Amino acid sequence: MKMTENNVTIYIQVCFIISLISILRAGVNMKILIVDDEPAIVDLIKLNLELEGFETITSSDGFDAIRTANSEKPDLILLDIMMPGMTGFEACKTLQSLNIPIILLTAKDSIQDKLKGLELGADDYITKPFDSRELIARIKTVLRRIDKFSTKEDAITAGPIYVNPIERKTHIDDIEVFLTPKEFDLLLLFLENQKKVFSRENILESVWGYEYMGDSRTVDMHIQRLRRKLGDYSCFIKTVFTIGYKFEVSA
């Protein structure tokens, strides 16, 4: 059947509406802060994220990123490492107190730089130049993981440690302790599986939420940082020789 000009117009409009609905569903109500001093990179990331339905805000340096994150409360931060003034590493150290997931954008491919970023509280990293599809996949993975842990209903206690998965808050001896998103998810994993032994690979899969391609030593670094924040109760996280870790409340 030969299509008339009117049918073609209707067909195009229907396709547009379907595409728009798909886009809006992908990242509805999710706001992402893009921090990079290179306008071309910012524009490219911004375009691809908005096509996926995300709302975007931008900063060109670490100082402004901290101000913007405090005022805008984004759902996730994309943070470049190499910036003038305040580096991404320095900004990450300050931003972790906001309990907002952070993905580092780095031109450095050394394992030391990647581990440094993860140790400072970043949830993931991606090396420049990157494929926009990989970046979006990483973003969605981190957001899904945060949402998965946030939708649990019951608070969990282990001795003096109290964790509220909905509010993502942790209290020790009735005093609130601020954890990075990764530290919180790691502690929650342990509390939900007390006495269960986890290998480093098990932890990476459960907490990081995807097949981690880097060095599993990042788990050891996060364990070390979490132990410090547990203070007198750091002994609850026990090292299982040659295997990994388990969580057990000591008498």
pLDDT in tens, 10-64: 655 655 554 444 444 444 568 999 999 999 999 999 999 998 889 999 999 999 9
Give the residue numbers spanning the domain of 219.
Answer: 153-247
- Regarding whether 135 and 60 lie in a shared domain, the answer is yes
Q: Report whether 68 contacts 33 (CB < 8 A).
A: yes
Spatial distance between the Cα atoms of 141 and 159, rounded to a whole number of angstroms: 32
Asked whether residue 149 carries a pLDDT value surpassing 60, the answer given is no
How many domains does one find in the chain? 2
CA distances from 121 to 43, 49, 79 (A): 26, 23, 12
Q: Which residue has the tokens 């509280």?
A: 121
- Regarding whether 201 and 131 lie in a shared domain, the answer is no
Domain boundary residue, one of 120, 148, 176? 148
When pLDDT is cut at 50, 70 and 90, the band that residue 123 belongs to is: confident
Which of 21-25, 94-98, 180-184, 212-216 has the lowest average pLDDT? Answer: 21-25
Mean pLDDT of the chain: 83
Domain boundary residue, one of 129, 148, 167? 148
- Regarding whether 132 and 99 lie in a shared domain, the answer is yes
Domain boundary residue, one of 148, 163, 192? 148
CATH number (domain holding residue 217):
1.10.10.10
| Residue 37 CA to its chain's centroid (Å) | 21
Its pTM surpasses 0.75: no
| Whole-number pLDDT of residue 27 | 46
| Whole-number pLDDT of residue 153 | 56
